Amino acid sequence: MNKYRVVILNRELLAYSKTFVLEQMKYLKSWEPILVGVKEINGLNLDCYHHEVVRLQEDSFLGKFMFKIIDKFWLKYCYFFSS
């Protein structure tokens, strides 16, 4: 049986104050959580978690688009589901 994937999008991966995100990810038994951020910071250790950093220039078209989505529409977190 294939697991569903959930993408958790955050501007920065992942501040020390965001331990609750990792705790929730541990309990997703039938889901494969993937953390995605546009900036890596010196924060929580993510070695045990599937995570990706999408490096974007904030002044590029795609960068402006992504930051607008993160900041305006989904504020801090965005969840995408796929099968």
Give the tens place of pLDDT for each residue, 25-57: 888 888 888 888 878 889 999 999 989 888 777
Q: Of 82 and 16, which is predicted with more confidence?
A: 16
Q: Is residue 55 within 8 Å of 46, Cβ to Cβ? A: no
For the residues 17-29, what does the mean pLDDT come to?
Answer: 88
Q: Is residue 67 predicted with pLDDT exceeding 60?
A: yes
Q: Is residue 79 predicted with pLDDT exceeding 80?
A: no
pLDDT of 3-13, one tens digit each?
788 888 777 88
B/e letters for 46-55, b = 16+ CB within 10 Å, e = fewer, are eeebebeeee
Number of domains within the chain: 1
Q: Which domain holds residue 21?
A: 4-82
